[in-house]
Structure 1
Amino acid sequence: MAHRTLIAALASALIGAGAGGAAADTAANPLEDGPTWEELRGDVVGDAEIAPGDALFAVDAPYRAHDAATVPLTITQTDPGATITGATVIVDENPAPVAGTFTFGPAMAPLDFELRVRVNQYSNVRVIAETEDGLFMDGRFVKASGGCSAPASRDPEVALAAMGQMKLKLFGETAALSTPRREAQVMIRHPNYSGLQRDQITQLFIPAHFIDTLEVRQGEELLFSMTGGISISENPVFRFSYADNGATSLSVRATDTEGNVFEHDLPKDAAS
């Protein structure tokens, strides 16, 4: 009996340790101190003061990313009394750290916004939010590597042939005050080449070619815009909630670094 009890105790301890390890992977992974941000700070915000953002918004990103080339990053506003008008997403250790600079229209408040970024090595992924009261920062430390040089998921000819295709998904509607809110996802086909990937046949580097501007509107009203860089993932996806003004479609306009312009009117009644 004592032997069985000891075995049971050891098994319980091992299970607990395993559960603790799993919990550690999903527990909060706050920003870590390091010299990189101090080197970047002046280039990103100059001398502007930045306050802690944990009371204003939360950033969610995995502690260990399953795919370094498509790391999900979610920004969720926790103080509904404030207005977040813009945000800059930074991956400290990436070759081009500023993943994107975003502007948000009034219909996006309170902010609930998700995108996918590349992470090239273990790095802080931070968000600097702009409000009428100044700048606020929060973020997560993400363990991932090789995201900027990971091979593209599609053959280049196939990727270029589909480039610029877009799709809208809607996820229902909820009542928020007097205005219905809706959750949407906009998907854009584009290889978003980083300039660090190699052609799998020639082994030559594929030149950088990525979406550099994006606007999403409902009617004439801006929902959000982006100035992007190489740290935005291949085939960018943006999921967000917004106050629906009754427009029958969302219009999306994107440009890339090769001068291509992609414009689509995505009807809500055709969204899957």
Structure 2
Amino acid sequence: MSATVNKPRAIAPLGILVEKLEQILQNAKNTEKSSQLVNDLQEAYEFASNLEPYLGEVSTTQSGALANLAEKTAQEDWSKLFAEGATPFELEQEMLSGHIEGQMLQIFVKMLGAKNVLEIGMFTGYSALAMAEALPDDGKVIACEVDDYVAKFAQECFSHSPHGEKITVKVAPALDTMAELAQEDKNFDLVFIDANKKEYKDYFNLLLDKKLVSPGCLIVVDNTLYQGQVYLPESKRTENGQAIHEFNQMVAQDERVQQVLLPLRDGLTVIRVN
């Protein structure tokens, strides 16, 4: 009997929209509203709900190692681990970058001809392994992760891939690890940020101020739509939503970079250092 795979919670704006449309559609079907209203809602629901599955269908298939990592992450009972004190953080499978984002990161690695990658926030290691797969044999990923449990979880997954040896995991607060890397004069071709949302501005400024990235390098930042909160009224934003809103505004005004926010999953900002 196969292990149970939990259904992920909707966190991207599109996923939240799909859930809301589904509820509205069911409510309409359960009332005496006109059949035209139900038909219109059904069409709107199909437009929204079928987009993400289609993106996965026509994108390059993920490797077996990545698929296994994603499945193992979905099978883990993260709520129970937090309740039992195995991890000090409230983790959930939705933190996994996933197939489409992984393919995007692999394309960035190959387009840049990157050899040195920094990941700020690793979780169970999907994006780290995805980028490692795209690196040359002498390429390296340094992954910053503050949670010891998920660091070990990821490293066990990496051990089943020939590309796992390209990944070095640093278990410590990301800002501390970044400061150490700056002291060592490290420089990265590609940086992927997906960690503490309230520290996004600090990550960004440290990268540029301490010369961890050079002109032509890319900084890719996840969750920059943050469940749609960034473009909703401030009263509807959580602390994290407000932090990402402020980060987006800061980057938009920074003349050291050129950036574009892509509506991929929960928002992916691609930043090129000038």
Tell me the TM-score normalised to structure 2 length. Answer: 0.25
Higher RCO, 1 or 2 (CA under 8 Å, sep at least 6)? 1
Structure (1 or 2) with the larger CA radius of gyration:
1
More strand by share: 1
More helix by share: 2
